Amino acid sequence: MLAQYLDNIMQPPMDMATKSRPASSPSSPKPTSRKTSWPFLTVLLTVLSPVLVATLVFQLDSFEPARLPIHELTQPPLKALKKNDHMLQGSELVGFKQLIEPEDIAYDSNSGVIYTSCADGWVKRVTINDSVADTIVESWVSTGGRPLGLALGHDNEVIVADAFKGLLKISGEGKVELLADEAEGVKFKLTDAVDIAEDGTIYFTDASYKYNLLEFFWDLLEGKPYGRAISYDPVTKETKVLAHNLYFANGVVVSPDQQYVVFCESFMRRCRKYYIQGKKKGSLETFIDNLPGLPDNIHHDGHGHYYIALASEITVALDLALKHPFLRKLMGIYTKYIGEINIWKNSGVFIVDLEGKPMEHYYDPGLALISSGIKIGNHIYCGSFVNPYIVRLDVTKHPARATV
């Protein structure tokens, strides 16, 4: 219709055209104005049509991202004292093609077995010998959902944060029991990470009560705080929301002194701590912010350090998207009508001390969506939300070096 309209307005009225046309003659040249206008109109329509369609789609789409707390996203990212920015060089691949997207890792030092949560629904047990080639992978228990966070209990059980099922307990015999799937009457939508205190209290996160795991990118795009940090008392079987309004609540770890819990807010590039003991009990503080990437799981190494998995560095595209809602709306429209956008890059592990001081940073341009990192002996083991293996790096052979 647009082409027809433009065609009509380019034609002179019929009576004027008749008056201005010379008498018919074999030698009279034919008018050429119509012919010369068509290339221009074709180019005009070719250029304008996509713009008009895109503008119309943008205006009519009901998805309206919110503005994130911009003052908390403008500081430069932290830098560690040491770094290894090519950690894939020298790394080994554990359980290649046997471990599908191993999100989290928990290590049983008594048996020497690694537990990991995979996208096929299985919690798998991995026995690693001196050589990766001698690795033994056992499909232990299927939750029937998508296990994410893992924590080893005090009675040979494994506590699982299952994205679709909720908070689960797997007994030593492999029996699966649902502990909780809601808090304050609100169902968990994306049960994410978990840890256990010495008194048996379970601390975990519900990353978003609006979006599920398959929709997590929309939680980032919308930019609203749908996450919660929650506790579960195994004696009373009660859940309690410790913190509301979190921007994608992710990894969680209980401090070695049992005084507080650290949990990560991925899209705000920070970790916060909630006091569970002492004079500050019930209060919330910043543990570390301005991280150089989006934090996922967090683990304590038993030697005074936290290992924070960074799913992606803050790329230019990601930085702009976090700061500007209209860009996130454009990304949402692109995702909805065309396909997913890959903005994940330079993933790895950020190591800090108990006070949150940056110590070391291991990452690589070839890594994306690293979701967990733990230290076992001389090695760092990294789980991932996309890889079919666990990355293992010997840090005595490939250490982080002092930054300039």
Tell whether 120 is covered by a domain: yes
What confidence score (pLDDT) does residue 133 get? 86
Beta carbons of 375 and 363 less than 8 angstroms apart? no
Q: What is the mean pLDDT of residues 32-38?
A: 54
* Calpha distance 201→197 (Å, rounded): 5
Q: Is residue 69 part of a domain?
A: no
Residue 337 pLDDT: 86
Place 21 in a pLDDT band, splitting at 50, 70 and 90: very low
More confident residue, 133 or 56: 133
pLDDT of residue 129: 81
Count of other CB atoms within 10 angstroms of residue 77: 15
Res 339: pLDDT? 86
Give mean pLDDT, residues 377-403. 97
**CATH at residue 91:** 2.120.10.30
Task: Choose the weakest-confidence range: 59-63, 164-168, 328-332.
Answer: 59-63
Domain-embedded: residue 147: yes
Total number of domains in the chain:
1
- Measured between its terminal Cα atoms, the distance across the chain in Å is 63
- pLDDT band of residue 71 (cuts 50, 70, 90) is confident
Query: Do the domain assignments include residue 22?
Result: no
Stretch 120-130: mean pLDDT:
94
What is this structure's pTM? Answer: 0.85
- Give the per-residue pLDDT at 403: 84
Domain interval for residue 365 = 79-402
pLDDT above 60 (res 10): no
Looking at residue 47, its pLDDT comes to: 65
Local structure of 212: helix, strand or coil = coil
pLDDT at 340: 83
304 pLDDT band (50/70/90 cuts)? Answer: very high
pLDDT band of 59, cuts 50, 70, 90: low
- Cβ neighbours of residue 246 under 8 Å, at least 6 residues apart? 205, 225, 226, 227, 228, 229, 263, 265
Higher pLDDT, 62 or 94: 94
Task: Please indicate, yes or no, if residue 55 is contained in any of the structural domains.
Answer: no
Is 193 part of a structural domain of the chain?
yes
Residue 347 inside a domain? The answer is: yes
Evaluate if residue 24 carries a pLDDT over 50: no
Q: Is residue 131 part of a domain?
A: yes
